[in-house]
Structure 1
Amino acid sequence: MLGERTLALLILIVAAYFRLWRLDELPPGFHHDIGVNGLDVMDVLAGARPVFFERNFGREAFFIYLQAALVGAVGFRPMVFNFAGVAMSMLSVALTYRLFRDWFSASVALTGASLYGFSFWAVDIGRLGLRGSSVPAFMLLTILLLARLLRRRSGIGVAIATGIVLGASLYTYLAARLLPVLIAAAVVLAPTRARAAWRSLVVAAIAAAVVFLPLGQYFFEHRAELTRRAFDVSIANPNPDIEGTRNTATESLLNTLGMFTVRGDENVRHNVPARPVFTGPWALLFYGGLIVAAWSAPRAWRYRIALTWLALLLVPSALSHESPSMFRTFGAAPIAHLFPVLAIDAIARSWRRGSHVVWGVAAIGILIFAAETHRLYFDEWPRRSDIDLAFDGNLPRLARFVESRGEPILYLSVDRRPPVQVLSPRARDGRWYREESFAVPMARDASGDSLYVSGPGAALPDAAPMMLPGLRDLAPSIGPDGKPDFRAYVWTEADRRAFARDFVAIDAPMGNDFRLVGHRTRRLDAARLDVALLWQPLAPSGPYDLFVHARRGDGSGLGQADRLVWPIDGGPPRDDVLVTRQILEATGTDVAVLEIGVVKRDPLDRARLIGGPIGDVARIMIPP
C-alpha cells in the first residue's frame, strides 16, 4: 500500500505531465495578450522596473517579472512564456494538497488535489502564459497561513509571511483584489480565534500594507488605472471592449452559477466551448458537497471559509460580460474541486465499514476523470478548426517569414502586433499601420526593395496590387484551416522610382494632419477617371476619410470616391508617403476639377464623419 507522501508525489508528477507534455505546441501560436507581456519583458530586461504595466488596459507586475526571469535565462520563445503559468499552476496543485490536508483527512487532501490538478480547467489555464494563472497559488498560500495564525500554531514569522503573501497577491491579477475581502471575511467568521490572535493579525495587516504600498502609491497617482480594465468588461459598461457575448446583469449571474454543471465558458482558449466544469457523477457530487458544507458551516470555520471563497471568487464573472468566464474565476478553481470530495467524504464517514470501498471507487473515478481531461486537451480540443486562430497561431509563422526575408524596407499591416514584434527583431524595425487602412505606404528616398506583409483580413491584398505597379505577390502561408496565414508582396526599388516619376508635384497642406504632395490623373475611358495621390503625413492621428470629388466647370458634382485611412503609427521614423488610388465612375469627359481633402472619422464608428474638411480642400484642374 502506497503511503500518503508517495501518493502526493505521484499526483504532482501526473499534474506536471498534464502541464508540460507538448507545451511547445499546445496551446498553439503566441496569443496577442502574451505578446504584450513579451513587450513588457523586453522593457524589464532593458532595465525598466514599473510596479504596474500600462499596456493592454493595464496589468499587474508579478507575472511579467516572472516571465522576464525565465526569458532572461532561456530566451524569447512562446513555450517559455507559457512555462511561467505552468510553474504557478504546479505550485497551486501542491498548495491545494497542503491546505486540504491541513483542514481534512489525507483521503480528502489527496482526492481534492488530484481532482483539481487533473481538471481541464486547471490544465488549460495553467498552460497559458497569462497572469490570471498565478491567482490560485496566492489564494491557497494566504488562506493556509491565515488558518495557522488563527489556530495560534505559529509566531511572528508566519504573521509577517501571511502579510507578505497577501500584499504580493495584489500584484498578480484583478481577481486577486478580492483576496483581502476574503481574508477579512475569514477573520469575521472566526471571531473567537481572531480575538485570541489579534496581535498576529495586526502584524500581518501591516506587512501586507508595506508590500502593497508601491502599487497603492501608483494607483493613487493614476486613479483611472485602478478600475479601467474592470470597467471595460463590466456589465455596467454599455460599450464593453470584449470579443465575446454581451450579457445583462441577470444573465451574467445565472451563467456564472451554471458554469459548474450546466454550461461552461464558451471561449475556446479557456475551455472546450460550453462544457461545464463537472459532468456526470461529479456534477451530482458537487451539489452534494455544497449541501455538506452548508450543513457543517455553523460548526466548523473551514466550511464557512470554503463557501465564502467560492462565492466571492465568482464575482468577477458574475459582474462582467462574456460570462461565464473560467479565466476570471480561476481563483475559485481549487476550492470548487473540494466540494465533490466533501460529498465523497460524507458517504465514506456514513459507511465506516465500507469507507475503503468508497475511496477506492473515488480513486477509479479520478483515473477516469484524468483520462477524460487527457482526451479533451490533447486530442479533441487541438483538432478544433478555430483553435489556431484563437491563439493567433498565424503570428509566429508570420514572424518567421519576416525574419527570413532580406528586403531593407519593411511595412506591416498587422493589428495584433506584439507577438510578431517579440518574436521577430527585424519586425521591430518595420513600419506598422492598421489593417483596415486602404492607403499603401511608400518610401520616398530610401534605397532597396520593399516588403509588404499583412494579416489575411487586411485591406492591403485589395489595395496594394491596384496601387503599386509591378508588385509581386509572394505565395502565402496556409494555416490549418486551409486559409492564408498572412499575405506578402515585394515591390522593387526600380518599380517604385518609376512609379514616383509619374506624379505631378503639388504642395497642398491640410491642417496639421497631411500634405498632398503628388497627383496623377488618367482617363481610362469615356466614363472613368483614374486618380492616384501621394499624401505626406504631418501629425496625423486617424482614422481619416481621404476623399476625391469630381465636378464640372459649373461646380455640379459628377462623382466621388472615399478611402478609410490610418497613418503609419509604429516603427522608426522615415520619410514615407501614403498612396491612394480611386477610380471615379460615370464622370464622363466633362469633369473640370477634382476637389481633394481630408475629414476625420469617428474611431468608434468608422462610417461617421466628424466635422468638415481639415484645412483647405485642394483643387486640381483636369484638362478637356
Structure 2
Amino acid sequence: MSSQRSRSPFWRNRALVLTLLLLGAALRLAAPGQIPPGLYHDEAQHGLDALRVLAGRFPLYFTANNGREPLFIYLVTACVGLLGRTPLAIRLPSFFIGVLTLAATYDLARVLLGEKIGRWSLAVLTVTFWHLHLSRVGFRAILLPLFSALCLAQAARAVRTHRSRYWIVAGMLYGASWYTYTAVRFTPVALAAFVGYTLLFHRKETLARWRGALLFCGAALLALVPLGIYTGLHPEIILGRSGQVSVFSPEINGGDPWGLLLQHAWRTAEMFCVRGDRIWRHNLAWRPVWGPALGLAFVTGVGVALARFRRDASAALVLLWIAVMTVPTLLAEDAPHFLRAVGILPVVALLPALGLDWLQARLNARHSHSLPRVLLLLPALLWGMELASTTTDYFIHYAEAPLAYHWFEAGPVALAGEINTLRNAGWDGAQMLHGPENERIIYLDEQLWDSWTAIPFLVPQEKVRFLPAEKVTGATGQAFIIWPYRDWAPEVWPLIAHPAYLRVHEGPQSQGDKEPEPTTIALIIQADPVPELPAAVAHFEDGLTLHAALVAPEEAGARVQLWWRAESAPAAEYIVFVHYLRDGEQLAQHDSPPGGGALPTTRWQAGDLILDEHRLPGVTPDPARDTLRIGLYRRDNGEGLAVLDETGNPSGGWIERAVILSQ
C-alpha cells in the first residue's frame, strides 16, 4: 500500500506534465498555416534558400537577406522537400521546435530549481504569447531558446554530478547554438557574468570544477570550428548586420546615443508587464510579455530570485542570464524587439514560476490557520487568466488584425496563390493543387516578382513570363499579372490572342510598415477562349451587343455583371452606365469604362467577349421590385449610343432589364 501511495504523486506529476505539453502543442498547431496569415519576406527567403539546398547547394552560412545562420534553414529544407512550396513548409519546423522547447524548459527548471518549479515553468511558457507566436512562424530565432535550455540543463547536471559526459554534451550544444540565431553572440557575456558570480560567492566549488569547464570549452570550440573559419574568411557577412541597427549608429540615434540608450533601457524593462514590442510581425502590438496575472507572478519571482541571489547559484544564473540577454534589444533600434530579445527565453519563464510557487507555499502555510480552501487555487487561477488572455489575444484579436495581415505580407502571398490557381498547380492559398496543369500562359510584371519574396518561393520561375515579353502564338489562355501604377497597356494588349474572353479584377492589397493605407498591388487580366454565348439581350450601335446582365449580392452592396461582345472593333471609347431602379425610382448609379478603365472599348476586336463589372454600394437586391437600366455614351463628348431594334434602327438610349441574381 505504501508503495502504491508513493507512486501516485509520481504519476500525477507525469500526467500533469503531459497535459501541459499537449495543451502547448494544441495551441501551437491550431489553424496551421492560417494564423498568422501570409508569409513575411524573411520567412520566404528561408524557402528560397531551401530550394537551393534541394538543388544541391549546401552552404555553411546563408548570405542573402543580411546573412543568416544555417540550422533553421536546413530544417525548413526538409519540410519543403516533403510538403512542397507552401507557407506551412516554412513554419512547421517552428512547431516542433516550440514543443521541444516546452519539454526542455521543464527539464531545465527541474534541474535548477526542483520539480515544482519545473512544472510551473512549463505551464508559464505554454501560455506565453511570445513563445506561442514564435512557434507558429518561420523565424529562425525560435531555435535559440531550445538550445539555451538544453545546454544549461546539461551544464547544471554536469555541475551536480561531476560527470564528464554532461560537460561534453553541454559544450557541444553550446557550440551548436551558434548556428541558430544572432543573439547567441551575447551568451559568452552571460556565461562570463555567471562565472564571475560563482568565483565571488562560491569560489571553492567553482575552482573544483575546472576540468569540467575545460571539457565544456573544448567541445564548444570543436563545434564552432567551421563557423569560426567562415567568420575569419568573411567577417563582413557575419558581422555586417549589427552595425546597421545599433543605437550608436548616427542614423539611428539622431546624435544622442546615450539618451536613446537610456530610453531603450526603460522600454526594455517595461516589456515584461507594461508595454511590449510594437511590431505586428512579432507581437500583438504593444502587448507585454505577460498580462496582469502572470505579470504579478513575474515581479514576485524577481523578488524571490533577488532574495536568494547570493546563496543560490541557480537563482543567480536566471537573473544574470536574463539581464545580459536583454542587451541585444537594448542596444538596437525598435526596443523592445522580441526577436532580438529571444535569448531570454525560456529562462525568463522561471521567474513567474518562482512567483507562483512562492504564492502557493504561502497559501499552503496559512491554510492551517483557517484560510479558505478555495484560495489555494489562486496560483492556478492566475495561470488560467493568462491562458484565457493569450488564447483570446492570439486567435481572435491578433488573427483578425488588419496590420498583422499586411505586415506578414499576406496580400502578395494571396497573389501567389491566385497565380497558382490560374495554373491549376501549386499552392492556391489554401491547399496544394496537383494538376493537371493547364496551358494558360502567365505573364508577370517583374516588379511584383522582385518586390515580394513570397512570390518567387510559391511560384516556380519557369511557370511565368516577365513583361515585356514576346507574343506566343497558339495560346489556349493567358493571364497578365500587372503592377497597376505604370503604363502597362503597350506591353499587354499586343500579346492578347483575339478573339478572347476578357476579364479583369483587382488583386490583393498590401500595406508596408511605414505606409498609412493599404494599396492594390496587382491588376489581373485574363484572356481565355470565347465560350458559347446565350442570345444577345440588346444590340447597340458600333457593333456592340449585350448578352447577359446579372446581379451578385455582396456584403457591402451589389455587383452588376455585364457581358459585352464586339461584333466589330468599336470606333470610339465608351463609358458604360448602370442605373439601379426600385419601383421605377433610381437607387444607385455607376458610370465607368469597361473593366474600370482596364478594358477600354478602343482595345476590343471583333469577336471579343468582355466581362464588365460595376459595384453599387448600399444596394440590397430585391428581384421582385428592381430593374437595371444599362447604356453607353462616348467618353469624349458624352453622346449616347443608341439601342437598335430588330430591324437595326435606333430605338432608344438604354435598355431596362429585370434583376436576375447570379448563382
Same fold by TM-score greater than 0.5: yes
1:65 to partner: Cα distance: 0.7
Match of 1:3 among 4, 12, 36: 12
Give the Cα separation in 2 of the matches to 1:357 and 1:189: 41
TM-score by length of 2: 0.67
Residue of structure 1 equivalent to 2:127: 118
1:336 to partner: Cα distance: 2.1
CA contact (8 A) 1:252 1:324 kept: yes
Deviations 1:101-144 (A, max 9, x none): 11223332212211111111110112111100111111111111
1:352 to partner: Cα distance: 4.4
Residue of structure 2 equivalent to 1:453: 481
CA contact (8 A) 1:402 1:427 kept: no
Q: Give the alignment of 1:404-419 within 5 angstroms.
A: 404-405=422-423, 406-407=440-441, 409-414=443-448, 415-419=450-454
Residue of structure 2 equivalent to 1:279: 291
Structure 2 counterpart of 1:88, one-letter code: I
Q: Please provide the CA RMSD for this pair.
A: 2.8
1:486 to partner: Cα distance: 2.6
Give the Cα separation in 2 of the matches to 1:359 and 1:149: 36
Residue of structure 2 equivalent to 1:547: none
Residue of structure 1 equivalent to 2:606: none
Give the Cα separation in 2 of the matches to 1:468 and 1:266: 42
Match of 1:384 among 401, 415, 421: 401
Match of 1:422 among 457, 468, 482: 457
Deviations 1:204-245 (A, max 9, x none): 11111111111111110111122212222211223469xxxx
Residue of structure 2 equivalent to 1:68: 77
Give the Cα separation in 2 of the matches to 1:58 and 1:132: 14
Structure 1 counterpart of 2:113, one-letter code: F
**Is 1:157 matched up with 2:126?**
no
Deviations 1:363-401 (A, max 9, x none): 122122112111111111111122211111122322233
Assess, with a 3 A threshold, how the Cα gap between structure 1 residues 359 and 9 changes in structure 2: closer, same or farther.
Answer: farther
Match of 2:300 among 266, 282, 288: 288
Residue of structure 2 equivalent to 1:539: none
Give the Cα separation in 2 of the matches to 1:491 and 1:461: 21
Assess, with a 3 A threshold, how the Cα gap between structure 1 residues 359 and 429 changes in structure 2: closer, same or farther.
Answer: farther
Structure 2 counterpart of 1:76, one-letter code: R
CA contact (8 A) 1:420 1:427 kept: no
Structure 2 counterpart of 1:424, one-letter code: V
Q: Give the alignment of 1:28-427 within 5 angstroms.
A: 28-151=37-160, 153-191=161-199, 192-239=204-251, 248-354=260-366, 360-403=377-420, 404-405=422-423, 406-407=440-441, 409-414=443-448, 415-426=450-461
CA contact (8 A) 1:150 1:194 kept: no
Gaps of 5+ in 2: 1-8, 254-258, 368-372, 424-439, 497-501, 512-517, 529-663
1:281 to partner: Cα distance: 3.6
1:51 to partner: Cα distance: 1.1
CA contact (8 A) 2:100 2:146 kept: yes
**Is 1:463 matched up with 2:487?**
yes
Assess, with a 3 A threshold, how the Cα gap between structure 1 residues 215 and 448 changes in structure 2: closer, same or farther.
Answer: farther
Gaps of 5+ in 1: 242-246, 432-440, 493-624
Deviations 1:137-175 (A, max 9, x none): 111111111112222x15222222111100000000001
1:417 to partner: Cα distance: 3.2
CA contact (8 A) 2:441 2:464 kept: no
Deviations 1:239-293 (A, max 9, x none): 469xxxxx92222222111111221111112111111122324323322221221
User: Secondary structure in 1 aligned to 2:289?
Assistant: coil
Assess, with a 3 A threshold, how the Cα gap between structure 1 residues 428 and 255 changes in structure 2: closer, same or farther.
Answer: farther
Residue of structure 1 equivalent to 2:568: none
Give the Cα separation in 2 of the matches to 1:380 and 1:234: 32
Residue of structure 1 equivalent to 2:522: 486
Deviations 1:343-379 (A, max 9, x none): 2333344454347866632112212211211111111
Structure 2 counterpart of 1:27, one-letter code: P
CA contact (8 A) 1:91 1:137 kept: yes
Give the Cα separation in 2 of the matches to 1:174 and 1:164: 18
Give the Cα separation in 1 of the matches to 2:267 and 2:480: 44
CA contact (8 A) 2:359 2:379 kept: no
Give the Cα separation in 1 of the matches to 2:149 and 2:302: 19
Give the Cα separation in 2 of the matches to 1:230 and 1:451: 43
Assess, with a 3 A threshold, how the Cα gap between structure 1 residues 340 and 428 changes in structure 2: closer, same or farther.
Answer: same
Deviations 1:548-600 (A, max 9, x none): xxxxxxxxxxxxxxxxxxxxxxxxxxxxxxxxxxxxxxxxxxxxxxxxxxxxx
Give the Cα separation in 2 of the matches to 1:17 and 1:23: 10
Structure 2 counterpart of 1:416, one-letter code: S
Assess, with a 3 A threshold, how the Cα gap between structure 1 residues 83 and 154 changes in structure 2: closer, same or farther.
Answer: farther
Assess, with a 3 A threshold, how the Cα gap between structure 1 residues 485 and 14 changes in structure 2: closer, same or farther.
Answer: farther
Give the Cα separation in 2 of the matches to 1:428 and 1:169: 39
Residue of structure 1 equivalent to 2:504: 474
CA contact (8 A) 1:135 1:172 kept: yes
User: Secondary structure in 1 aligned to 2:468?
Assistant: strand
Query: Which deviates more, 8-17 or 114-123?
Result: 114-123
CA contact (8 A) 1:421 1:428 kept: no
User: Secondary structure in 1 aligned to 2:352?
Assistant: helix
- Which structure is larger by alpha-carbon Rg, 1 or 2? 2
Give the Cα separation in 2 of the matches to 1:428 and 1:56: 25
Give the Cα separation in 2 of the matches to 1:179 and 1:344: 28
Give the Cα separation in 2 of the matches to 1:181 and 1:4: 36
Deviations 1:432-473 (A, max 9, x none): xxxxxxxxx53368767885434xxx5x43322477666877
Residue of structure 2 equivalent to 1:578: none
Give the Cα separation in 2 of the matches to 1:258 and 1:193: 36
1:421 to partner: Cα distance: 1.1
TM-score by length of 1: 0.71
Query: Which deviates more, 342-351 or 192-201?
Result: 342-351
Residue of structure 2 equivalent to 1:530: none
1:306 to partner: Cα distance: 0.5
Give the Cα separation in 2 of the matches to 1:155 and 1:274: 45
User: Secondary structure in 2 aligned to 1:475?
Assistant: strand
Give the Cα separation in 1 of the matches to 2:418 and 2:462: 10
Give the Cα separation in 2 of the matches to 1:122 and 1:233: 24
User: Secondary structure in 1 aligned to 2:278?
Assistant: coil
CA contact (8 A) 2:124 2:352 kept: no
CA contact (8 A) 2:398 2:404 kept: yes
Give the Cα separation in 1 of the matches to 2:442 and 2:278: 43
Deviations 1:493-539 (A, max 9, x none): xxxxxxxxxxxxxxxxxxxxxxxxxxxxxxxxxxxxxxxxxxxxxxx
User: Secondary structure in 2 aligned to 1:488?
Assistant: strand
The percent of aligned pairs where both chains have the same amino acid is 27
Give the Cα separation in 1 of the matches to 2:25 and 2:323: 29
Give the Cα separation in 1 of the matches to 2:419 and 2:362: 66
CA contact (8 A) 1:235 1:321 kept: yes
Assess, with a 3 A threshold, how the Cα gap between structure 1 residues 359 and 237 changes in structure 2: closer, same or farther.
Answer: farther
Assess, with a 3 A threshold, how the Cα gap between structure 1 residues 163 and 203 changes in structure 2: closer, same or farther.
Answer: same
